[in-house]
Structure 1
Amino acid sequence: MQLSNFSALSRPVDISYRSNFSVLLISFFTLLAAFFYQWWYLDNEFGESIWWAVQAMLAVFLAWALGREIDPDIKASAFVAIPISFGLFLFAGSFQWWVLLAMLLLLRVGNHCTGKSVKWLDVIFCLGLCAYLCWQGHYLVGFAFCAAFLVDSRLPPANKLSQWYALAALLMAILSMIFFPAELSNNEFLFSGWWIAGVVLVLLIYLLAIREYKRPHSTEDYRVQPLNGQRVQSTQLIVLFFVLVIYLTQNFMASIELGAIWAVILSVDLLRFYQLLTRRSLY
């Protein structure tokens, strides 16, 4: 029984592909190394060591998975993001795991990478996760889900029911803003000159990469049709606005705790810069 029969957003990791097998190996060895570092070298408790190791593995795997969605044509982006994400995880100590999972799901809703429209199990899980995060004060996740479902309802192959899911996510976001408002923070470290200039440069290069996706080379998983360029670009822009608003309205650590997304954006930029310098194709 295949999970894809119940969920249109599932993308099983097929180990017959070298890249998939490689990331599973990297994730497994990260798990082992992180566990023994915490338990044997630092002499932490067994349960605490296991949880830290699982988080280290997730920092690696989610960076790769997000890279596949954000920059689907360039496989290297997902792998370059791995060490960056792991480094940011070590700096932050943890990530916002549920928010990162939500971003992964809404990317798949919007870009239609699997070739299937969302099913009821997907809708229940996505809106349930959205409701939980909005209750926790992450109202931006509600707006992001709203945007992704609107993309799904408008761009071909359009799923008209998604407009109602978008409305539900929008209502959750508005209620979250009213009843669970997030604190705004003016962090001098975050807004110092070099940092703001660096973020502007990173996002400008990312925008140039988005322009390349008018006609994606990648195909959907099940229909084996080329990805819709407008869908891919729309979801890339959703990610851009999501991280940018968090950067501008919340404190420095709130951005670092989304390190897997920033890692992918940085990897996209680095590879485009490498292409510019070497004139080599990334495809």
Structure 2
Amino acid sequence: MRNPYRLTTLGRALDIKHSGTRKIIVFTLLAGIFSMLLQFTSETTLQTSLLLSFKAAMMVFLVWAIARELDPDHDNSSFVAVVFTIFNILFLGIQPLIPLLWILLLLRIMNRSVGMRAGIIDSFIIFILGILLSLQYNWIFAMLTALVLILDSRLSEAHRLHLPLGIILAGISTYLFSTAGGRIDLEISLFEMISFIVAVILFLPVIIDSGKITSVGDRTGEKLDPTRVRMAQIVTLGIAFLLSIDSIYGQNYPILYGIMAGIGIYRMLSNKKINEKTDSNFTE
């Protein structure tokens, strides 16, 4: 029997029986409705309102999916990130969806939460996305995509195709960097820097604790590789910082900060609750 996942393997099924799936469906619908209500207070057309509401709902869903990749053992931590995202929509507006999809695909390639390596179509989709986003924003997107592809070709169960693709993207990134004048325009405010530092401080314990991963791949049932999960988390830190200093895309920095901080806050409160329960049992 032919393998149905031979060409594409990065999609994860939504199990409606799972409480987390039902929750994110509710959050996604509420985000869309909430955005629609906000549009009614402005002079936007119905078509524009519907489009913005759809984008708000998808933004919440993608943030949830990204958070699940970064903290696969704790489903509920993703909903703290979702709450931050809703506030982000309220105060900073709806942000581009394609870069979020790009981040999600990079993380799934890196930590292989599906349990399988990327298919041929997946590899070329992320390759093309890296190029298109670099042309729309700047060379950083191609460089980060190249980094993930090359890492995937060197870690356990290496994906050999990703090495030449990563090298090609690195070359494209270098070319785009040179055509931009060979310089990096550092545009990050004091508030942004403080926000990044706080997010990192909250997220570092999650990275340190990733060696204890117990989650398994969706389609294989095999335990995820802790090294891959940790590398995905570290790469996310790099993405968050490098995109923050981008003069074009940098305005969207709160998304990843909120995801990392949300996961860190949940884990901190969760560990505190466990410790208090342990202490209570000990005193009894």
TM band (smaller chain): 0.7 to 0.9
The amino acid that maps onto 1:35 is M
What is the identity percentage for the equivalent residue pairs of Structure 1 and Structure 2? 19
1:141 aligns with 2:156: no
Give the equivalent residue in structure 2 for 1:47. Answer: 47
1:106 aligns with 2:80: no
Judge which range, 231-240 or 263-272, deviates more: 263-272
Give the equivalent residue in structure 2 for 1:250. Answer: 246
Give the equivalent residue in structure 2 for 1:75. Answer: 75
1:118 aligns with 2:118: yes
2-structure distance, mates of 1:131, 1:199: 26
How far is the alpha carbon of 1:196 from its aligned partner? Answer: 3.5
- 2:202/2:260 contact within 8 Å kept: no
- 1:137/1:176 contact within 8 Å kept: no
Q: What are the Cα deviations for residues 140-182 of structure 1, in whole angstroms up to 9, with x where unaligned?
A: 2212212211222112222222111211221222122123468
The amino acid that maps onto 1:32 is I
How far is the alpha carbon of 1:43 from its aligned partner? Answer: 5.2
1-structure distance, mates of 2:25, 2:164: 37
Give the equivalent residue in structure 1 for 2:203. Answer: 206
- 2:146/2:165 contact within 8 Å kept: yes
How far is the alpha carbon of 1:268 from its aligned partner? Answer: 1.5
2-structure distance, mates of 1:241, 1:26: 28
1:229 aligns with 2:226: yes
Give the equivalent residue in structure 2 for 1:129. Answer: 129
2-structure distance, mates of 1:118, 1:8: 6
The amino acid that maps onto 1:111 is N
Give the equivalent residue in structure 1 for 2:190. Answer: 191
Q: What are the Cα deviations for residues 91-145 of structure 1, in whole angstroms up to 9, with x where unaligned?
A: 2223132211111111111111111121121122111111101112332221221
1:278 aligns with 2:273: yes
What TM-score do you get using the length of structure 2 for normalisation? 0.87
2-structure distance, mates of 1:144, 1:198: 22
How far is the alpha carbon of 1:199 from its aligned partner? Answer: 2.9
- 2:210/2:229 contact within 8 Å kept: yes
The amino acid that maps onto 1:132 is L
Q: What are the Cα deviations for residues 26-45 of structure 1, in whole angstroms up to 9, with x where unaligned?
A: 21232233224424x54531
Q: CA RMSD in A?
A: 2.4
In structure 2, the residue corresponding to 1:16 is in which secondary structure? coil
Give the equivalent residue in structure 2 for 1:64. Answer: 64
How far is the alpha carbon of 1:6 from its aligned partner? Answer: 3.4
Q: What are the Cα deviations for residues 203-260 of structure 1, in whole angstroms up to 9, with x where unaligned?
A: 123122101111311111111111101111111111101112233x335x84451433
1-structure distance, mates of 2:30, 2:273: 32
Give the equivalent residue in structure 2 for 1:24. Answer: 25
- 2:202/2:265 contact within 8 Å kept: no
What TM-score do you get using the length of structure 1 for normalisation? 0.87
Give the equivalent residue in structure 2 for 1:216. Answer: 213
